Amino acid sequence: MQHKNYTKNYLERNEFVRSKKGENANYFGPGEFGQPVKLDKVDLGPSDLKRLKAGFEKHGFNEFASDLISSHRRIGTINVDPGCANNIYDNLSPASIVIPVRDESWSILLRTLHSILSRTPLNLLQEIILVDDNSKMDNMKGRLDWYISHLQKVKILRLDEKRGRSLMVARQEGINKALSDIVIVIDSHTEVTEGWIEPLIQRIREKPNFLVAPIVDQIFAETLEYDYKKPKPRAMSFDFHLEQDWISYKQEYLNSISWSKPYRTTGIQGNALVFNKTFFNKLGGLDTGMKVWGGEQQELMFKYVMCGGDIEIVPCSHIGHVYRQKLIWSNELHNKTIMDEMCNQYRVAERKTGDVSSRKRIREENKCKPFQYVLDRITQMIDLYIPVNLQASGAIVHSETKLCLSYWGEDPFVGKCHGHGYSQFWDLSKDFQIRCENQCLVYEDNKIKTKRCE
């Protein structure tokens, strides 16, 4: 079978983004200005279809589409508050940027590097430290060494089998090597925007005991489209299975926020962390015993709030992040060292932790407040579900089939009891709500479904 000319097809369908230079307009490559790359599989040959599938399986996003996009693609205008233009950033020190990487897609890693190099003033960039967490792919070895030897201010730190294979270890090793006291840790599938770094550095200069983060926009895994958006009035929080959750801010707190100034928040994502290295390490840095994806931001949130700091979002700074459709790092939690009696009262006491004595000493040395202080602070901003005064809790098991009621998505279902809680862990509240964390069972349209609890 003879396949169509792919570039010709793309031009004919006007999927490329046109330059806005009037009669001198020309075409740029796929994905320019953050536009989506829309692939039509009928135009792809067998080998390309195989590559398309393999990229998703290996990386959790469309590597085939990423390979079609320039390493230097431009990002369009970001929707920041007009007040951001009036902010003054002065006497800024350069920052060290730490990027952990493990068997990353070549094209998306280069786009991460070049977006930083092209959109960060050189006087504000101390260095970029790539921390290779014992990658096995060939392109992460000599080829990468050769490529970055041609880039200013980029260096690579390689972890061997003995030290590597842990996200927390990789990040902390890079932090330890950083020359600047202002450190930014981001993921290896990120694109920064114009003016991203100045507001972050300014805030850490003003508040060195704060942990701050930019607005993190989504880059879609399927099309690599950069999703421009204004700050959403939703807070990153957690539930008592230590799963992250997005919850709407209380209206009275929303009314107090200026979208051109840093604002306190309940939590931040782990894909973009900005901090003063001295204070960060005083709090014990990252928990290198935590072989985890998705738990480090909770530990940091707890520590910063309890131990003399705070956490904020800096809305005048935007970066884009590809949210993978699969995990690259594994999962274990140490957060029970921080949650006091709460870990026994709620859902995390049974989690595997190992030796946590050194983490407990950090709390003692920093005279940290009790965990209740975190809850009191969070509930000023959001309505956090705290499972107390329950009539019952646990699995809902069918008496004959011995199957468990499970929650995933809108419709509950019955399935084999797995004994791990969370999606099969239900509460019966004092007002007779049956809920799985923030989702309540309701009866509508002659069927049982779940809706977010009021």
Q: Which band of pLDDT confidence, cut at 50, 70 and 90, is reported for residue 331?
A: very low
pLDDT above 50 for 85: yes
CATH 3.90.550.10 region(s) of the chain?
82-378
pTM: 0.83
- Name the DSSP letter for residue 17: P
- The answer to whether residues 95 and 200 touch, using CB atoms and an 8 Å cutoff, is yes
Amino acid 288: pLDDT:
80
Higher pLDDT, 436 or 224: 224
Neighbouring-strand partners of residue 237 = 245
Q: Which band of pLDDT confidence, cut at 50, 70 and 90, is reported for residue 409?
A: low
- The answer to whether residues 325 and 221 touch, using CB atoms and an 8 Å cutoff, is yes
In the three-class reduction of DSSP (H, G, I as helix; E, B as strand; rest coil), residue 55 is classed as: helix
Amino acid 9: pLDDT:
44
Q: Which band of pLDDT confidence, cut at 50, 70 and 90, is reported for residue 329?
A: low
- One of 1.10.12.10, 3.40.50.2300, 3.90.550.10, 3.40.1390.10 is the CATH number of 82-378, namely 3.90.550.10
Mean pLDDT score across all residues of the chain: 84
Range in 18-32, 46-60, 129-143, 420-434 with the lowest mean pLDDT: 18-32
State pLDDT tens for residues 358-381.
778 888 888 999 989 999 999 999
Amino acid 338: pLDDT:
52
State pLDDT tens for residues 164-215.
567 888 999 999 999 999 999 999 999 999 999 999 999 999 999 999 999 9
Max avg pLDDT among 45-59, 228-242, 285-299 = 45-59
Amino acid 11: pLDDT:
38
Please give the share of the chain, as a percent, with pLDDT higher than 90: 52
pLDDT above 90 for 339: no
Q: Where are the alpha helices (DSSP H) in 286-384?
A: 296-306, 342-345, 357-365, 372-378
pLDDT above 50 for 335: no
Mean pLDDT confidence for 60-85: 91
Q: How far is CA 309 from the centre of its chain?
A: 21
State pLDDT tens for residues 123-139.
999 999 999 998 999 99
Backbone φ, ψ for residue 408 (5° rounding): -160, 110
Q: Which band of pLDDT confidence, cut at 50, 70 and 90, is reported for residue 98?
A: very high
Range in 291-295, 334-338, 397-401, 438-442 with the lowest mean pLDDT: 334-338
Q: Give the integer Cα–Cα distance in Å for 414 and 416.
A: 7
Work out the burial of residue 101: count CB atoms within 10 Å of its CB; fewer than 13 is exposed, 13-18 middle, 19 or more buried: buried
Amino acid 15: pLDDT:
40
CATH class of the 392-452 domain in this structure: mainly beta
**Strand 154-159 to 125-133 pairing:** parallel
pLDDT above 60 for 143: yes
pLDDT above 60 for 20: no
Q: ∠ CA(99), CA(134), CA(280), 5° rounding?
A: 40
Q: Which band of pLDDT confidence, cut at 50, 70 and 90, is reported for residue 313?
A: very high
Cα–Cα separations (whole angstroms), residue 153 to 145, 211, 276, 432: 13, 25, 20, 60
Q: Give the integer Cα–Cα distance in Å for 70 and 379.
A: 44
In the three-class reduction of DSSP (H, G, I as helix; E, B as strand; rest coil), residue 433 is classed as: coil
Higher pLDDT, 100 or 269: 100
Amino acid 273: pLDDT:
96
Q: Give the integer Cα–Cα distance in Å for 216 and 227.
A: 10
CATH 2.80.10.50 region(s) of the chain?
392-452
Amino acid 228: pLDDT:
79
